[in-house]
Structure 1
Amino acid sequence: MSNKIRLGILGGGGDSLIGVLHRIASSMHDKYQIVGGVFNPVWEENIGFAEKISLPTNRIYKDFDTLVEEELKLPVEERMQIVSILTPNFLHFPMAKKLLENGFNVICEKPMTTTYEEAKILNATLKKSKTIFAITYTYTGYPMVRQMREMILNGELGNIQRVDAQYYQGWINPVIHDKEQRANTWRLDPKKGGISCCIGDIGTHAFDMLEYVSGLKIESILADLNYLYPDNKMDIDGTVLLRCSNDVRGVICTSQIATGEENSFIVKIYGDKAGLKWEQENPNFLYLMEDGQPLRVLKPGHSYNSQLSLDGSKLPPGHPEGIFDSMGNIYKGIAKAINNEPYNHGEFPTIIDGVRGMGFIEKAVESHQKGNVWVEIENVD
């Protein structure tokens, strides 16, 4: 029998980008074997997709509850060890909770749940189950993001004095201006997407990234969100002012109506000695900025990088790595945790990142609804 980690997948069938991303990522380091799942709620499409990607169909189940029921009948050494949840947002919580209660490890897409209260319940459930839970804030897997984190942790920027994240997309433009389309898009439906679209989808990436690389905690925020049309119930654009630990200030600017933008995620951290800047659309370049010095560009795979960065580099210098590699690095870190191998706590985002992300979403909406006031973000452990 294979010694690979037995992986099940929920959602991500058909032409789902996120499904392709997770399947390729799980295969990168030869740590996982996909053994089954539920790719689509329509049985014909579910089983047809499994056949299309050459999976045995004996563990393709008609629905999630059947998956759990049937997998628990199998011997421990045969059943799924971990399940990836790639479904629409409203299904994340019930699926993750039931999986944890039944002893499965979980990988969950973000946002982790649709409410902060659900996120806290999941955290309490995880503590009882003593399994592994990871949330896929994908960009933390990039080698140069990890290099950024380690340089800041080692004090190379000095005292951090400002943090800044900008995440601009334009994908929702064709949808938002058409009344019928915006009424029938699940991401703009609070029953399926939660209380936020833009902040919930990409703002949480920015929030988690700033805390991940800087080592700071965002303690309070002031948000100004944009809904564009009176009948649109979820934000599609927003600016959030930040007050962080150590009296550091910052800002998160997010938009899904930034016309012409594709996936422009830019992170900047400024210390009293130097600054660092990273751009997702050019992920192999980390810019080091110092007063009175020429701009320096750090790239992956070189010996001057940290061990955490080098562990996430699969190719020699000069060979580009991208988002599949980034997600692959997260899956690699999760595999180490499942196999009880030593790992750096920066190798994959945990449930705490997910809980804090949900707290950020709710507080951003609350701040906006109260007239753009400062609100505090609860700390969790």
Structure 2
Amino acid sequence: MSTQRKIRMGMMGGGLNSFIGIVHRIASYIGEEYTLVGGVFDSNFENGQKFAKKLELDLSRTYADIDTFVEKELALPAEERIEVVVVVTPNFLHYPMAKQLIENGFHVICEKPITNTAAEAMELESLTKKHGVSFALTHTYTGYPMVRQMKSMIAEGVLGKIQKVDAQYYQGWINPVIHDKEKRAGVWRLNPEKAGQSCCMGDIGVHAFNMVEYTTGLKTTKVLADLNTLYEDNPLDIDGTAMCQFDNGAKGLVRASQIATSEENNLCIAVYGTKAGIKWEQENPNYLYFMEEGKPVQVLKPGHEYNSELSAISTKIAPGHPEGIFDSMGNIYSGAAKAIRGEEYLEGAFPTVHEGVRGMKFIEAVLASSKNGNVWTEIED
């Protein structure tokens, strides 16, 4: 924990009845690096004010819209101004809000997907460099200590040359509504105007893809994908598989589904090398399974001296105590705090705007591959 003063934080969205807003606020509190000052908590100003009162915030720092937020905050002395803004609005607002904030000198922590298109994501990457601000994308699962241990072990060559990767993210939440025409028409994640180009791959498949590139350090060069909308009147994918080829010649799979009946949050990744394999499951995040040829399976856990520095700094409590999604997100906030302050931080401490660019390029390549008859489609670096 830093001994410096806390970073002044604002939020776009995340107000009353927002689950993801709660996750972000708790995560920001964990490392005691941030203090929530104000923001635009709801599209309905009255509801935003109610939320601010509930959190006992200064109502003068609760604004009706982002234009007012920017105008009023920039009018304040630099030592009082909100420094970083968390964007937790519906998908279609991520790009315009992040762009406006960056152009006005605010650091940004953004929910994924970063934007609706790869072109928009690349523009944000360019703008962050131009305006000298930090941008953290909350690919939350990269914050788990044992995912970071996995990354470190692969980078150290413990597995040998990577030859196979298999990542999946299965949920079943949409199954109860997708078979009813009226119900599915009312789901915002199936509305391209609000959700963007993709539902399943854009929402959860991109997490699995990000886990592959984050843990292995490999770049996906091309994909061959098959997506399923289940019904002709449903415009967006709810299930899909992408075969992947990586820059070291290896191949793998990214599988995602929101109609995997009764599945909850089944994200898992397995990486196989010439010397060993390694597996991790999000629903059992404290266990990392290490498999060497001809030897018993080893189960690695957080909080022990055998783990890497990146894993160690991501562990908050003693061994044997479960660390979950709030802790994982908290690690991303802690890494972002160092970047915001201009301090040094370990590679992999938080997903950057570049991971957002990679994710959008993956989504667009997958959509193109499936649309064009399941053909290999390149992903530009």
TM-score normalised by the shorter chain: which range applies? over 0.9
User: In the alignment, which residue of structure 1 is the partner of 2:45?
Assistant: 43
Q: For residue 90 of structure 1, report the CA deviation from its aligned partner.
A: 0.5
Q: For residue 44 of structure 1, report the CA deviation from its aligned partner.
A: 1.6
Amino acid at match of 1:176: I
Q: For residue 65 of structure 1, report the CA deviation from its aligned partner.
A: 1.2
CA-to-aligned-CA distance 1:15-72 (integer Å, 9 cap, x gap): 2211110000000111000000111111121111111122221100011111111111
Distance 1:341 1:120 in 2: 25
User: In the alignment, which residue of structure 2 is the partner of 1:65?
Assistant: 67
Within the alignment, does 1:245 sit opposite 2:252 as a pair? no
CA-to-aligned-CA distance 1:247-294 (integer Å, 9 cap, x gap): 010001100000010000010110111000000000000000111111
Distance 1:64 1:375 in 2: 38
Aligned-partner SS, 1:302? coil
User: In the alignment, which residue of structure 2 is the partner of 1:278?
Assistant: 280
Distance 1:179 1:68 in 2: 41
User: In the alignment, which residue of structure 2 is the partner of 1:181?
Assistant: 183
User: In the alignment, which residue of structure 2 is the partner of 1:329?
Assistant: 331
CA-to-aligned-CA distance 1:177-202 (integer Å, 9 cap, x gap): 12112112111100111110000000
Q: In percent, how many aligned pairs have the same letter? A: 61
Distance 2:136 2:45 in 1: 28
Amino acid at match of 2:220: I
Distance 1:264 1:215 in 2: 23
Aligned-partner SS, 1:210? helix
Greater CA drift, 219-228 or 335-344: 335-344
Within the alignment, does 1:269 sit opposite 2:250 as a pair? no
Distance 1:181 1:79 in 2: 44
Q: Which runs of 5+ in 2 are unaligned?
A: none
Distance 1:369 1:312 in 2: 41
CA-to-aligned-CA distance 1:306-334 (integer Å, 9 cap, x gap): 01101000011001100000000000000
Aligned-partner SS, 1:232? coil
Give the 4+ runs in structure 1 shifted more than 6 A. Answer: none
Amino acid at match of 2:91: N
Distance 2:44 2:362 in 1: 34
Amino acid at match of 2:36: I
Distance 1:5 1:224 in 2: 44
Aligned-partner SS, 2:248? helix
Amino acid at match of 1:124: S
Distance 2:173 2:19 in 1: 14
Amino acid at match of 1:27: Y
Distance 1:342 1:72 in 2: 27
Within the alignment, does 1:84 sit opposite 2:81 as a pair? no
Within the alignment, does 1:165 sit opposite 2:157 as a pair? no
Amino acid at match of 2:204: I
Distance 2:5 2:233 in 1: 53
User: In the alignment, which residue of structure 2 is the partner of 1:290?
Assistant: 292
TM, length-normalised to structure 1: 0.98
Aligned-partner SS, 2:119? helix
Q: Which runs of 5+ in 1 are unaligned?
A: none
Within the alignment, does 1:29 sit opposite 2:45 as a pair? no
Root mean square deviation, CA, Å = 0.9
User: In the alignment, which residue of structure 2 is the partner of 1:352?
Assistant: 354
Q: For residue 343 of structure 1, report the CA deviation from its aligned partner.
A: 0.7
Within the alignment, does 1:53 sit opposite 2:28 as a pair? no
Greater CA drift, 248-257 or 47-56: 47-56
Amino acid at match of 1:75: P
Q: For residue 298 of structure 1, report the CA deviation from its aligned partner.
A: 0.1
Amino acid at match of 1:368: S
Aligned-partner SS, 1:371? coil
Amino acid at match of 1:9: M
Distance 2:21 2:347 in 1: 25
Amino acid at match of 2:27: A
Distance 1:14 1:170 in 2: 26
User: In the alignment, which residue of structure 1 is the partner of 2:198?
Assistant: 196
- Which of 21, 31, 34 in structure 2 is aligned with 1:19? 21
